[in-house]
Amino acid sequence: MELLHLLVADYANLTGDGKLNVMGIFNIINAPSFPAKHSEMYLISKLYASPAEYGQTRKLTIKLLNEDGTQEVVNFSHDFVVPTGSGGKRVETNHIVRLTDIIFPNAGSYQFSVLVDNDLKGTMAVELVKR
């Protein structure tokens, strides 16, 4: 399984036919003071799976760590089943996680990590800046 996209945005959804809609992609959050609360954001990940993974149950884990990696701000997991494709082609799985009222204790760089079955697939930094 490979990570194709990892984004943080103001909003995201999937259409009935599987199209991914994303609005307001960002990687910097301006806050007047700390600790800072961000009321709502969406973490979007798109994964590719090979034919060898069709039908398998996997565990997706999202972690948000502080700058030095000593504090988990978010730790979220859920199981999903890899869809079965056709013709031996890779398949995509889209995952949208709505995060509400996240508290960022300090300014600095925070890192989202995406793991599948405890195997790190990718990371993305979000900078918290005092405005």
Confidence of residue 42 (pLDDT cuts 50, 70, 90): very high
Inter-residue contact 9 to 24 (CB < 8 Å): yes
Work out the pLDDT band at 22, boundaries 50, 70, 90: very high
β-pair type (119-130, 28-31): parallel
Asked if residue 83 has a cis previous peptide bond (ω within 30° of 0), the answer is no
Q: Which residues contact 74 (CB under 8 A, 6 or more apart)?
A: 62, 63, 64, 99, 102
Q: Is the pLDDT of residue 111 over 90?
A: yes
pTM: 0.92
- Structural domains in the chain? 2-130 (2.60.40.10)
**Which amino acid is it at 93?**
T
Average pLDDT of the chain?
96
